[in-house]
A = this chain, B = another copy of it.
Amino acid sequence: MKAGHHFDLPGHCADCPVRELTLYSAARFANSDEIYRLRRGTRQVRARQKIYIEGRELQQVMTLYNGWAFCYRVLPGGTRQIFSFLLPGDTMSLGALVSNQLPYSVDALTDCVLCLFDRQEISSYVESDVALVRNAWQQCQHHQIAMQQHLTQVGRCAAYERVAFLVMEIADRLASRGMVQDNSFPFPLRHSHVADALGLTHVHVGRVFRELEQGEVLCRRDRMIEVLDWGRAREVQAQSGSAGSAVM
């Protein structure tokens, strides 16, 4: 760890600012002690580093405490498809509850702090309580819905709508974490991340962002986005219908 880098390390789970959003939110509050006892440590990952490589054996369940990450696969041709972006509180991944490997890789988008749990322990802990099983189920369903929305965007919307939609989706997820202030929120994604999530090229993503800025829909500065015209931004999003709030 180099000087000049400050990681905000997690304390007791009961004080976790994102605990309402996690896999464990269904646990009775008194139980956050129990969750804390299950925690097997934390892990810090620098931006642009790999958190997990597709197919590797995985004996842990990781929860993102701080920072951004993303899930993806790389095709033989070298192109990349990003499936989702992970925000604080997101579990990476639920799949680990039933399998000791995941079918995709995960990279840190910014500097990250992860909470670690033992796969078997969490698995049997979740199975011990019907409420937790249901909660896990619902998270899984939410992922499905998010994937459907994502597929629909990519399959049936023009580049302009895809980008606007992605920005709004992230705005919503950040809003539920209280991370939107004065219509502004952090947006550390590079053009290539947006491109690889939406089935575009980074060059074209640049063109679309310019269009969005010239149309005064939004404004980017210092890795932040300020939404200038929520109305028009939402309007684009409406093209794709709505079926639930997707992943939190």
In the complex where A95-B141, A143-B144, A148-B83 touch, is A199 in contact with B154 (Cβ < 8 A)? yes
- Interface residues in A105-126 (C-beta closer than 8 Å to B): none
Kindly report which residue of chain B lies nearest to residue A140, judged by CB atoms. B140
Interface CB pairs A-B, < 8 A, 9: A76-B238, A76-B239, A81-B152, A95-B141, A99-B141, A137-B137, A147-B148, A147-B151, A154-B154
**Minimum distance in angstroms from A97 CB to a CB of chain B:** 7
Measured CB to CB, the residues of A under 8 A from B are 54-55, 73-77, 79-81, 83, 95, 97-99, 103-104, 127, 130, 133-134, 136-138, 140-141, 143-145, 147-148, 150-152, 154-156, 198-199, 238-241, 243-244
A207 to B244, CA, bound (A): 37
A156 to B155, CA, bound (A): 11
A117 to B137, CA, bound (A): 19
A136 to B137, CA, bound (A): 9
- The answer on a CB contact under 8 Å between A103 and B243 is yes
